[in-house]
Amino acid sequence: MKNNPRALAVIALTRVFQNKAYSNIEINNLLQNSDLSDADSRLMTNIVYGVIQHKYVLEYQLKPYLQDKDKKVELWLDLLLMSAIYQLQFLDKIPAHAVLNESTEIAKQKAGRGAGNLVNAVLRNYQRHGYKELPKSDSVYDLSLRNSVPRWLVDLFIDQQGKAKAKEILGSINQPSHISIRVNTNKTTVADLKEILDKKGFDVSPSKISSVGLICKSGNLVDTQEFRDGLYTIQDESSMLVAPALDIKPDSKVLDACSAPGGKTTHIASYLKDGEVVALDIHKHKTKLVRDNGQRMGYGDIISTGAVDARKAKDLLNTKFDRILVDAPCSGLGLMRRKPELRFFRKPEDLENLQRVQLEILDSMVDLLEVNGKLVFSTCTFDDEENEIVVKKFLDKHLNFDLIPVKHEPALDGSITHGMLKIFPSDYFTDGFFVAAFVRKN
């Protein structure tokens, strides 16, 4: 089974749904211990993401063919059947007989002849009757089913953004994502790096929303000499909009309160000459990632790290900063395209709990910021509870802070409201993101 892409996909999917594991981490772990060819690795990855992205649709297709007595099939068997239907329906290059034979064999090897017979019978039945058309209305139920997004989230998107925008967001999150990189402009230029990567066969194009971003449709961008030499880092385009919002000067003293794995820390460092950046994270093991990234990108001597709960930072750090970034822990709903399982892991009460933590971290930053210093708050989600409402509550409590317009490129003018930047996954095909900036008046 170790070298069977379909069996490995089912193992990854079982871990995701049983242990609430992240799909990208499980895929990487399993691929590292397998001898799959590149094509089979791509197939395995495609099945894992596809089944998670289309979970409700696949369950809907499967339901009529599971007899009553079989309705409570084990999780792995359910996922094996969904993977098979996903391949039959969504992947056009795989012959149906290969899907049927392989899936039957996997079930037989794992649980004996009975399981193999069940899989074979269900899939033959599905083939005989064909794909069941999905209901087409705009009801919350149908939108939830068609896009495989829990109903509470569909409700939330409609309540906050209106139906048209909610449909646009839902329609975009199950499409394949791009990879983007941020160019380390202290080591190379965007044009030079583009040329080098193009020559290596990466199909690279400039980002429309960040002047230091390049987009790549596919390819292993961590396995190049240029990556090892720190000429670029892998980062979503939306994340590249945060460091510019801090308006950093070459001698700024910057605090990055929630910094791991350090994507934004190294971006901040790229603006500094005599300045420094102190990078905190609550998890000690994650601060190593920040240091490693800093070293690789050539900023090891201006980044220092600390394993600190940012909510307690005001009592632990006895210094002040010119700039503070709170890239806060959040629900990550803006990442649903790249981490499709998030939609199933999150619960409505998470948003309120996360809002509380975000406000506690912001509160702790207030006295660490110099007068006239700037504070930036960002999240990779687009729900109001973790964004605009946090900003409002923070300003209501701290009258010595003003909201100031987020510095941004002209292409993003349409994404600014009351000076705050909010990007939906459907707007520029990036992660969803939010950025707000404040100044301390006194």
Ligand X SMILES: C[S@@+](CC[C@H](N)C(=O)[O-])C[C@H]1O[C@@H](n2cnc3c(N)ncnc32)[C@H](O)[C@@H]1O
Interacting residues toward ligand X by CB under 6 A: 239, 258-264, 280-283, 286, 309-311, 327, 329, 361
Nearer Cβ to ligand X (16/354): 354
Total residue count of the chain as it appears in this document? 442
CA distance 232 to 230: 5
Strand partners, 281: 307
Structure tokens at 169: 């967001």
Q: What are phi and psi of 242, to 5 degrees?
A: -85, -50
Provide the annotated binding site for S-adenosyl-L-methionine: 258-264, 281, 309, 327
Q: Which helix (H) or strand (E) holds 420?
A: strand 420-423
Is 330 part of the annotated catalytic residue set?
A: no
List Cα–Cα distances, 287 to 193, 255, 295, 429, in angstroms.
Answer: 28, 14, 12, 30
Q: How far is CA 263 from the centre of its chain?
A: 13
Using CA atoms, how far residue 4 sits from 7, 44, 115, in Å, is 5, 9, 18
What is the distance between the alpha carbons of residues 139 and 142, in angstroms, rounded to a whole number?
Answer: 5
Closest CA to 147 of 428, 379, 344: 344
Q: How far apart are CA 237 and CA 218, in angstroms?
A: 15
3-state helix, strand, coil split of the chain in percent (to 5) is 50, 15, 35
How far from the centroid of its chain's Cα atoms is residue 255's Cα? 24
**Which one, 43 or 258, has the nearer CB to ligand X?**
258
Which amino acid is located at 41 in the chain? Answer: S
**Least distance between ligand X and beta carbon 312 (Å):** 8
What is the C-alpha to C-alpha distance for residues 154 and 68, in angstroms, rounded to an integer?
A: 30
Smallest distance, ligand X to C-beta of residue 125, A: 45
Give whichever of 263 and 294 is closer to ligand X, judged by the CB atom: 263
What is the identity of the amino acid at 73?
A: V
Least Cβ distance, residue 427 to ligand X (angstroms): 20
Least gap, CB of 311 to ligand X (angstroms): 5
Strand partners, 437: 376, 404
Q: Packing angle between helix 96-111 and helix 75-90, nearest 10 degrees?
A: 170
Nearer to ligand X, 62 or 269 (CB): 269
The least distance separating ligand X from the CB of residue 277, rounded to whole angstroms, comes to: 11
Residue 53 Cβ vs ligand X, minimum distance, rounded to whole Å: 22
Q: Is the peptide bond before 261 cis (omega within 30 degrees of 0)?
A: yes
- 47, 62, 241, 380: the catalytic one is 380
Across the strands, what pairs with 183?
Answer: 232
Annotated binding site: 258-264, 281, 309, 327
CA-CA-CA-CA dihedral for 303, 304, 309, 313, to nearest 10: -100
**Closest distance of CB 91 from ligand X, Å:** 33
Separation in Å, CA 363 to CA 287, 314, 377, 382, 439: 22, 9, 12, 22, 14
Known catalytic residues are 380
